[in-house]
Structure 1
Amino acid sequence: MAETHDTSFEQLAAAVLDEMWRRHPDAASVLGLHEHDARLPDRSAAGLAAEAAWLAESAAALAEIDTSRLAAQNRVDAAILATELASLRFRLEDLREHEWNPAEANPGVALYTLLARDYAPAVTRLTAFAGRLEQVPEALAANRAVLAGKSLSRIHVELAIGQFEGTVDLLGGELEAALSEAPEARGAIDAVRPAALEALRDHLGWLKERLAAGDAGEEEFRDPRIGAELFARKLSLSLDAESDAAAILARAEADLERVTGEIEQAAAEYEGVAVPAEAGERSALVRRVLNRLAEAVPDNDSILEYARAAVLQQIAFVREHDLVTVFDDPYEVVAMPEVNRGVAVAYCDPPGPLEPAEVQTILAISPTPDNWTRERVDSFFREYNLHMVHNLMVHEAMPGHLLQLQHSQRFRADTTVRAAMWSGSFVEGWAVYAEELMAGHGYPGDGDPAGVRMQQLKMQLRMIINTVLDGRVHGHGMTEDEAMALMMERGFQEEGEAAGKWRRALLSSAQLSTYYVGYTEVSDLLRDLRAAHPRWSERTLHDTVLGHGSPAVRYLRELLEL
């Protein structure tokens, strides 16, 4: 058979992805590709330079493909692959976070991935674990060489210390629990664990010395903000959206006014009063209603069971209202492992999109840290009250991430590009849209649908403010005082939530915008799809949007001919 443009692209894509997973064995494991499970990535200076050269060669080869002559699905995958290669080059050559963020070198997630799911017998996974563990001393030494003489970000050093301590803990109780299932693997683990633990503790000591030196003025910390130019480029590559950073910020600030009006109206209806004329009175009304809702709180002992019950209730509600096709794939709600704590309150960790084994999705919720004061714990659970937990699990589980990613798992194409390189803005955008969908259909939570609606609107405000923070912190020098005032006054957030989000804004860049940009794009897409197909049911509309994997919405529009 003569080679076609499509087969040329498919062969090139396969070769690029094979090499990518060889260079990123930790990412391959997450995807469900286990050929490289016993290896860690080479993040030495030489390894990073070699990767940059390979990325440039791969991008050049892809640019020679005439994408106008590809089938629609391959044309989309080619665009996704080109953006991913450009994004990886940008991170290595321009952003250079590996030189100032020591948390990037933590092997904890690569190790934890091998314990988290039963994709293979325990002895197989633990043998691979031992292989990765053996490479920890060399990997950490290489990281210190990369970071030596560089100005580090203080807040990222603090994050790294906490997460590296979580990795040390992982090599204790959690590893021992896994070894109890496969004692025959103990010899391989015990042969390498002492050296790995010593290397981790030495590295922790080195990080603490760098932190102390910076605090003493002996070293200079760098600003974690990446600046307007780098932020705009990172945002464009990360979101693969049609709007630029300035347009996204302008729309978010306009939507902040619109949603403020909506939550004021909802609060007035909740109280059975008219919307006050004065802005201060309207704000006080919203806060009064939210404070009343915040009186119903879980605690560290009950929040996981409460979240589990909420997911079951949501599954029944989605089925009853025929909103979208529901599957019975396995999942579990767990306490967030320490190696992942410090950034988000909750996450959905699905099976790798290329995982052949049937394994569960993990819905993780972070308990409050042991060193928090009673007042800060109380503030946290007022923010994540029982009504908010319902909204949170709609986002993380049903019909949010859990269900959307189950649909995505079922998509098949001629390449694995789309499965491996999903769009964060689409995934997060759908989850935020799901919150609005459920509240709009009167999802009752604990028997108070108006309360769920209030919390959903509060989350909309938070999402919009997150985008304003993202753009203004990294691109316009927003101060902590300005950010805290925006979150607590305009967003009605508890002090603890606002403080955590300020920290997250500094720790990440471009990520906080994914929710809002994705939500606006998904909502606009569904509006246009309804107009094009007015006779379609909600389930048909939603299944259609979820039926193409998880590409950026701009590509969905192309595939759906909108």
Structure 2
Amino acid sequence: AARPAALEALGAHLDWLSAELARPAAGDFADPRIGPERFGRKLSLTLSAAADPDAILARAEADLDRITGEITEVAASLGGTPREVLDRLAADAPEESTILRFCAAALAAQTEFVRGHDLVTLYDDPIEIIDMPEINRGVAVAYCDSPGPLETAPLATFIAVSPVPGDWTPERKASFYREYNRHMVHNLMVHEAMPGHYLQLQHSRRFSGGTRLRAALRSGSFIEGWAVYTEELMADHGYPGEGDPRAVRMQQLKMQLRTTINAILDARVHAHGMTEPEAMALMSDRGFQEEGEAAGKWRRALLTSAQLSTYYVGYTEISDLAAELRATPGQADRTVHDRMLAHGSPPVRLLRTVV
């Protein structure tokens, strides 16, 4: 019954887009920032009706200080400051020609680690690691493209990894592979594949629920929150990556800084007028990001709104729920995580009422 109205709304939106493309940018449309009122409205639609942009920003900025203290401690155990240790790790760059094989090897190692530590139930749905199609490049370095939630055929999940753009200077290419060094790629594959998106979406597809609609709809903050949570989970259990678990922890904490800064960027760019130099300084100085990564994130912050907050907010919700479930005696990791993944991909506020 809702389909005709939905089609009419899509048609009206397409007409609006076509009209905007046909005229020169002017007024509000010259600036991609959507402003505090629209940002607050969009955040409430993306996360929950109770989402408070100012409260999220305040917690993220407090967490930025906390994580900075943690990464400083781990770096000291490795004999340096965070910048010095991360620079040493960044020098261990992967070969561009073998990056897909390296990702496949990391996935295999992570699968065995998850199995050996009994962290969560595993499935063996097909998976392929591929070069990212050109049309999708320029927003994320990698993504997980799973079969549709109602798909019944045994189709593969694709982990798409973006090559370095051909028009980049040698300096920017080198910066990219310093950011995505071998240790960071391990962390990236935890997020995108095992036990992150690939495994979580395998669980999600097996949920049948009371209606097909509930099985089909997915919460972005739940999906991204789970993936960020698993980075911390693997580091907490000593996943060795290239051999030293402390190197994995450094990259996981660096990624947690990035996740937190994502939420800060999202709010400050769209609702508080943050400038490009301010954003680049935040990412480079507080987040220890390479210039290429920071430049790409600035572009992403302008092209999207509310999406960059899903990682941080989703992570805090997932982490809080997992801690609550573990508080019950006898709740092993696998039991806790299977309970959390057994209901599709709902918003965490609704998942809590189910589990």
User: TM-score, with normalisation over the residues of structure 1?
Assistant: 0.61
1:383/1:552 CA distance change after superposition, 3 Å = same
Check conservation: 1:444, 1:452, Cα contact below 8 A.
yes
> 1:397 and 1:232 mapped to 2: Cα distance?
31
Is 1:535 aligned to 2:330, yes or no?
Answer: yes
Q: What does 1:376-415 correspond to in 2, within 5 Å?
A: 376-415=172-211
Q: Structure 1: how far apart are the matches of 2:103 and 2:313?
A: 27
| Paired amino acid for 2:203 | H
- Alpha-carbon distance in 1 for matches of 2:189, 2:28: 42
Which piece of structure 1 moves more, 410-419 or 449-458?
A: 410-419
The superposition leaves residues 506-530 of structure 1 with CA deviations (integer Å, 9 ceiling, x where unpaired) of: 0000000000000000001111111
Alpha-carbon distance, 1:559 to partner: 1.1
1:373-424: per-residue Cα shift (whole Å, max 9, x none)?
1000000000000000000000000000000000000111121223322000
Judge conservation of contact 2:144–2:198 (CA < 8 Å) in 1: yes
> Within 1, Cα distance between the matches of 2:259 and 2:60?
9
SS for the counterpart of 2:158 is strand
- The residue correspondences of 1:61-72 to structure 2 (distance < 5 A) are none
4+ runs deviating over 4 angstroms: 97-100
Return the match for 2:290 from 487, 494, 497: 494
> Is residue 39–residue 306 contact of structure 2 (8 Å, CA) maintained in 1?
yes
Do 2:191 and 2:228's aligned partners in 1 also have CA atoms closer than 8 Å?
A: yes
Q: Where does residue 544 of structure 1 map in the other structure?
A: 339
* Residues 1:147 and 2:24 are matched in the alignment: no
2:158 maps to which residue? Answer: 362
Q: Matches of 1:290 and 1:220 in 2, distance apart?
A: 40
How do 1:26-425 and structure 2 match up within 5 A?
Answer: 47-48=11-12, 99=16, 143=18, 145=19, 147-149=21-23, 151=25, 222-240=30-48, 242-271=50-79, 285-425=81-221
User: In structure 2, what is the Cα distance between the partners aligned to 1:242 and 1:325?
Assistant: 33
Give the deviation of 1:227 after TM superposition. 0.3
Which letter does structure 1 place at the counterpart of 2:278? E
Higher relative contact order (CA 8 A, sep 6+): 2
1:445 alignment counterpart? 241
The amino acid of 1:255's aligned partner reads D
Shift of 1:270: 1.7
Alpha-carbon distance change, 254 to 220 in structure 1, aligned in 2, over 3 angstroms:
closer
Check whether the contact 1:330–1:361 (CA below 8 A) recurs between aligned residues.
yes
Cα distance per residue 1:54-113 (max 9 Å; x no partner):
xxxxxxxxxxxxxxxxxxxxxxxxxxxxxxxxxxxxxx6xxxx9856xxxxxxxxxxxxx
- Contact 1:505–1:512 (CA under 8 A) maintained in structure 2: yes
Secondary structure at 1:302's aligned position in 2?
A: helix
Q: Decide whether aligned partners of structure 1 residues 542 and 505 sit closer, same or farther in structure 2, where only a CA change above 3 A counts.
A: same
What whole-Å deviation, never above 9, does each CA across 1:23-77 have from its counterpart, x for those lacking one? 3xxxxxxxxxxxxxxxxx996xxx21xxxxxxxxxxxxxxxxxxxxxxxxxxxxx
Does the CA-based 8 Å contact 2:120-2:334 persist in structure 1? Answer: yes
Instruction: Decide whether aligned partners of structure 1 residues 362 and 436 sit closer, same or farther in structure 2, where only a CA change above 3 A counts.
Output: same
Q: CA deviation at 1:269?
A: 1.2
Distance 1:356 1:507 in 2: 34
Decide whether aligned partners of structure 1 residues 475 and 388 sit closer, same or farther in structure 2, where only a CA change above 3 A counts.
Answer: same
CA deviations over 1:429-451 (Å, ceiling 9, x no partner): 00000000000101011112110
Alpha-carbon distance change, 338 to 239 in structure 1, aligned in 2, over 3 angstroms:
same
1:538 & 1:220 partners in 2: Cα distance? 49
Q: Equivalent pairs: percent with the same residue? A: 64
Deviation at 1:356, TM superposition (A): 2.0
Whole-Å separation in 2 of the counterparts to 1:291 and 1:467: 25
3-state SS of paired residue (1:347): strand
Please state how far the C-alpha of 1:241 moved relative to its aligned partner: 6.3
Secondary structure of the corresponding residue to residue 429 of structure 1? helix
Q: Distance in 2 between matches of 1:376 and 1:146?
A: 34
Work out the CA distance in 2 between the residues paired with 1:469 and 1:332: 32
Q: CA deviation at 1:220?
A: 9.2
Residue 363 to residue 465, structure 1, CA distance change in 2 (3 Å) = same
Give structure 1 stretches of 5+ with no counterpart.
1-14, 24-40, 49-91, 101-142, 153-218, 274-284
Judge conservation of contact 2:43–2:51 (CA < 8 Å) in 1. Answer: no
In the TM superposition, residue 148 of structure 1 has moved relative to its aligned partner by 2.5
> Bigger CA drift: 239-248 or 290-299?
239-248
2:144 counterpart letter in structure 1: C
Is the Cα contact below 8 Å between 2:325 and 2:331 reproduced in 1?
no
Name the amino acid aligned to 1:559.
V
The TM-score, its normalising length taken from structure 2, stands at 0.96
Task: Provide the C-alpha distance between the structure 1 equivalents of 2:37 and 2:23, rounded to a whole number of angstroms.
Answer: 25
